[in-house]
Amino acid sequence: MNKPIRRVSIFCLVLILALLVRVNWVQGVQASAWANNKENERTKYDRYAYPRGNIIVGGQPVTKSDFVNGLRYKYKRAWVDGPMYAPVTGYSSQIYDASQLEKLEDGVLSGTDSRLFFRNTLDMLTGKPKQGGDVVTTIDPKVQKAGFEGLGNRKGAAVAIDPNTGAILALVSTPSYDPGTFAGGTDADSAAYNALKADPNQPMLNRALRQTYPPGSTFKLVTAATAFETGKYKDPGDATETPETYILPGTSTPLINDSPDEDCENATLTSALAISCNTVFGKLGAELGGDALRAQAEKFGFNDDKVDIPVRAAASYYPSGSSPDGTAMDAIGQHDTRATPLQMAMVAAAIANNGSLMQPYLVSQEGAPGHAISTHSEHQMSQAVSPATAQKLQQMMEEVVKSGTGKRAKIPGVTVGGKTGTAQHGQDNSGKPFAWFVSYAKDSGGKQVAVAVVVEDGAAQSAEISGGSLAAPIAKAMMQAALGK
């Protein structure tokens, strides 16, 4: 071979090697970046080129893929009981992307997750049509339905948790929406989506996870826990040194109890929780101090902005730096204290589980039954309180249901503990209060459930709004469904 031909050959070989390196770099190293590029329309079309996997509730799919055979999209996402399960599944839209499990589990549902490589390869070799993988949730359809129907057309949310494992049995938010109304790519889908976004009732807001509320008197559970954990009080029957009229520290403002007939003067902790004495727990909070209350609240999950189930919940908030009068109000769930319904269900679950707070989770398995690519492993999030303190709180909560403000949550043959709350909000407390009920139930076989319900009932008269009358019956129905009662 003469010299010019040899040079040309070497140059061509270099070009071929460069091309091979570039192809492998693009298809290997940069593949994920190109696939996830927001300008890459092919990824969006591929998502609906074949049936997506299903989201499973109680062994049955609550999603499906409808064959539409469009120009760009072959399938469109659809839901079974869409409004009831929208807070769990989220939406998957050809125009507006996806949310919640539909978004976070998209790799599994669309079949592109690398863990599905073997299954996809086997399906290709056997000629089986391509399909996404399933996502199995922890939701109990009976508990979800009880919460959804209980809330009805009122604004609010409800969460149920298995205290032993952290499994979320219900995740309800109302008003809700049907994800199927904007799953496609037509003008009608755009109009439906825009109407939902413009709705002042915010049906697309997941109130169970993403809305924080003043927890009101339900936060007195955290204040009582702090009193026991710090040694301020030893026993639920201990009398408190509470005057008939308690003036907020550094002010001339009296702290008012919900009812003037409440006998809160020097009340025991048990009776103070049963009739929800603001004076007892406000004074107790000021004496314990903001630092001690905040440390205890954080053991229950407050101020944690990384509570993923895997959908990320908004951080519940206990403030720092409050003045003594502000701390007194923080201690009764007012002032700057705020919590999601999930957070208050976690408080109830930790108390029911002898102080052990399990990490809440919504997905038990990825992949079809018998072909799981991952299975959730339960683990403790924190030891919120000692077992001794938890048992004292259980005793107090059970008295709330037996003889206090939570009587409407009683279930025959079942041990039920609860705490009502009526949370003020708005400028100078001008808004209609929120009704709360936080509870747990245990049957004789050891099965248990923890529930938190909040109702924003703008249609009710302010005098009619209380956790015991509005939220407790909903929680009772959910607990009965969970325990099969």
In a domain, 157, yes or no: no
**Per-residue pLDDT, 464:** 45
Structural domain harbouring 460: 209-367+377-483
**Per-residue pLDDT, 44:** 72
pLDDT digit string (tens) for the chain, length 485 residues: 577 777 778 888 888 888 888 877 777 666 666 666 666 666 677 778 889 999 999 999 999 999 987 778 899 999 999 999 999 999 999 999 999 999 999 999 988 888 877 777 777 777 777 788 999 999 999 999 999 999 999 999 999 999 999 999 999 999 999 999 999 989 999 999 999 999 999 999 999 999 999 999 999 999 999 999 999 999 999 999 999 999 999 999 999 997 666 789 999 999 999 999 999 999 999 999 999 999 999 999 999 999 999 999 999 999 999 999 999 999 999 999 999 999 999 999 999 999 999 999 999 999 866 678 899 999 999 999 999 999 999 999 999 999 999 999 999 999 999 999 988 765 555 567 899 999 999 998 889 999 999 999 644 444 445 678 899 999 999 999 999 98
Q: What is the pTM of this model?
A: 0.90
User: In degrees, to the nearest 5, what angle opens at C-alpha 457 toward C-alphas 456 and 459?
Assistant: 150
Which positions are catalytic?
Answer: 217
End-to-end CA distance of the chain: 91
Q: Which element (helix H / strand E) includes 117?
A: helix 117-126
In a domain, 479, yes or no: yes
**Per-residue pLDDT, 463:** 46
Residue in 348, 338, 355, 345 with CA at minimum distance from that of residue 302: 338
Residues 6+ apart with CB under 8 A from 397: 221, 273, 351, 417, 418, 419, 439, 440
For 415, the 3-state DSSP assignment is: strand
How many angstroms separate the Cα of 25 from the Cα of each of 12, 14, 19? 20, 16, 10
In a domain, 470, yes or no: yes
**Per-residue pLDDT, 7:** 79
In a domain, 92, yes or no: no
At 56-102, the pLDDT tens digits run 999 999 999 999 877 788 999 999 999 999 999 999 999 999 999 99
The total number of structural domains that make up the chain: 1
How many angstroms separate the Cα of 466 from the Cα of each of 247, 328, 335, 346? 25, 21, 19, 21
In a domain, 137, yes or no: no
- In contact, 415 and 441? CB cutoff 8 Å: yes
**Per-residue pLDDT, 99:** 97
In a domain, 164, yes or no: no
Q: What is the CATH number of the domain that holds 466?
A: 3.40.710.10
- In contact, 246 and 255? CB cutoff 8 Å: yes
Residue in 139, 438, 472 with CA at minimum distance from that of residue 316: 438
In a domain, 148, yes or no: no
